[in-house]
Amino acid sequence: MSKKGSPVPVTHIPKSEYARRRKALMAQMEPNSIAILPAAAVAIRNRDVEHVYRQDSDFQYLSGFPEPEAVIALIPGRQHGEYVLFCRERNPERELWDGLRAGQEGAVRDYGADDAFPIADIDDILPGLIEGRDRVYTAMGSHPEFDRHLMDWINVIRSKANLGSQPPNEFVALDHLLHDMRLYKSAAEVKVMRHAAQISARAHVRAMQACRAGLHEFSLEAELDYEFRKGGAKMPAYGSIVAAGRNSCILHYQQNDAVLRDGDLVLIDAGCEIDCYASDITRTFPVSGTFSPEQKAIYELVLKSQEAAFAAIGPGKHWNQAHEATVQVITEGLVQLGLLQGNVDELIATEAHRAFYMHRAGHWLGMDVHDVGEYRVGGEWRVLEPGMTLTVEPGIYISPDNPHVAKKWRGIGVRIEDDVVVTRTGCEILTGDVPKTVAEIEALMAQARTEAA
């Protein structure tokens, strides 16, 4: 942690890595082809107000270029440079209102473009760059407006066919190559993700320390946001969930406006984003600082299932083994607690756990919180390899209205979520800085209350 007043250390992806990624993608492209990707558009929130700008993850992955109204063209073998970037021109008046722009000079100098053109000239220039190439790699379907522009550019080439213009014959989905690359994190990516995880861990600790009955869920959200911004994160990686009492049983709860009451649990699922890399942490703790016996029983069962999942993650193990481990432990535990009745193997075969544990144990994590990458290859679960990053997030949610369980269990919702990277021998937990056992959580909360008294 940086000392009071000292600058926050900034972790980011080095320029050389973006160059390496572009080269790696171009090396996988068929001969005589071009890849074209648009930047994310600015999204209007209402009238003159815009949403905070977030670059498209694929565009960011290949360029690190943070501006809207830009297009990347990668043209392996092009004599005047393989990496062409179209972007906004410098404009002193617009920059006075909206902030600095890299311009074409900045695109080359600061972002490694071999050649840069004004975005306003793209209709005149890009058809000429596409012409004569056999294949166009593009993310078809994700940017409908850009797809229409692309067809316009292709039609420009077609309209000149009688003059000898050669339109491309094939369109290839870029996602397949790019998303497989994104699945394997480099050392620099893991470093950025570890940094995001550490900031998010501090945010969860701060929320636990600040928790008191009578506050609202949004009071704890404010504690999270404070640590995110203080750590240098521009924004959360997704809408924070702060769910107290019965709200903890709503999986994507985001209202965050209920009052915290003694006797209830509060489930917080929140993580920040650093340099477009996500973290994703869930902790569940008692508003009062002390778990009730039923809350503790459910909590420790979820924790045990998470530990079983960690043991099932490593090179050579397949994607679903972690999930299967959580289902085994949770089903056994629910039978022991009397929440499920029957033979464990039969209950697993019929997926009886889904009444209480209705999601999967995790997802790929990276530039997108639910990151890209296939979970199956050739119909089989993907085998884990070093550098893959994923979440491990089992949960048990007992609906407040479930008539089939004793009243004492109702309204208890627990999820515990950590982020891991697959290593050569198993996995490294990136989010280990937040207390997790019942004893650790109760001790942290008790200490915060003593200090405040």
Residue 359 is a catalytic residue: yes
Contact 59, 39 (CB under 8 A): yes
What are the backbone dihedrals phi and psi of residue 391, each rounded to the nearest 5 degrees, phi first? -100, 155
Q: Which is nearer to ligand GLY, 269 or 275 (CB)?
A: 269
- Cα torsion 63, 30, 387, 381: sign: positive
Q: Rounded CA gap, 344 and 201, in Å?
A: 35
Under the binding rule (CB under 6 A), the answer on residue 273 touching ligand GLY is no
Under the binding rule (CB under 6 A), the answer on residue 312 touching ligand GLY is no
238 binds, among Mn ion, ligand GLY, none (CB under 5 to 8 A by kind): ligand GLY
Secondary structure (H, E, C), 341-378: CCCHHHHHHCCHHHHCCCCCCCCECCCCCCCCCCCEEC
- Bridge partner list, 57: none
| Catalytic choice (370, 374, 376, 385) | 370
Residue ranges in 375-394 that form contacts with ligand GLY under rule CB under 6 A = 393
Residue 253 is a catalytic residue: no
Under the binding rule (CB under 6 A), the answer on residue 368 touching ligand GLY is no
**369, 392, 412, 445: residue in contact with ligand GLY (rule CB under 6 A):** 369
Q: Which is nearer to ligand GLY, 240 or 288 (CB)?
A: 240
Angstrom CA distances, 129 to 111, 145, 147, 219, 257, stand at 20, 20, 17, 53, 53
Under the binding rule (CB under 6 A), the answer on residue 264 touching ligand GLY is no
Say how many C-beta atoms besides its own lie within 10 A of residue 216's C-beta: 15
Instruction: Write down the least CB distance from residue 253 to ligand GLY, Å.
Output: 11
Instruction: Write down the least CB distance from residue 393 to ligand GLY, Å.
Output: 6
- What track of x and - describes contact with ligand GLY for positions 127 through 166 (by CB under 6 A)? ----------------------------------------
What are the backbone dihedrals phi and psi of residue 71, each rounded to the nearest 5 degrees, phi first? -140, 135
Ranked by CB distance to ligand GLY, the top (closest) residue is 269
Q: Rounded CA gap, 166 and 74, in Å?
A: 19
Under the binding rule (CB under 6 A), the answer on residue 371 touching ligand GLY is no
Residue 397 is a catalytic residue: yes
**56, 58, 225, 269: residue in contact with ligand GLY (rule CB under 6 A):** 269
**280, 332, 368, 419: residue in contact with Mn ion (rule CB under 5 A):** 280
Q: Rounded CA gap, 229 and 231, in Å?
A: 5
DSSP state string for 13-69: --HHHHHHHHHHHHHHSPSSEEEEEEPPPPPEEETTEEPPP---HHHHHHH----SS
| Catalytic choice (269, 273, 275, 371) | 269
Size of residue set near ligand GLY by CB under 6 A: 7
Q: Smallest Cα–Cα separation from 283: which of 431, 424, 127, 148?
A: 431
- What track of x and - describes contact with Mn ion for positions 377 through 396 (by CB under 5 A)? --------------x-----
- Bridge partner list, 276: none
Q: Which is nearer to ligand GLY, 284 or 288 (CB)?
A: 284
Catalytic residue list: 48, 252, 269, 280, 359, 363, 370, 393, 397, 415, 417
Binding-site ranges for Mn ion (CB under 5 A): 269, 280, 391, 417
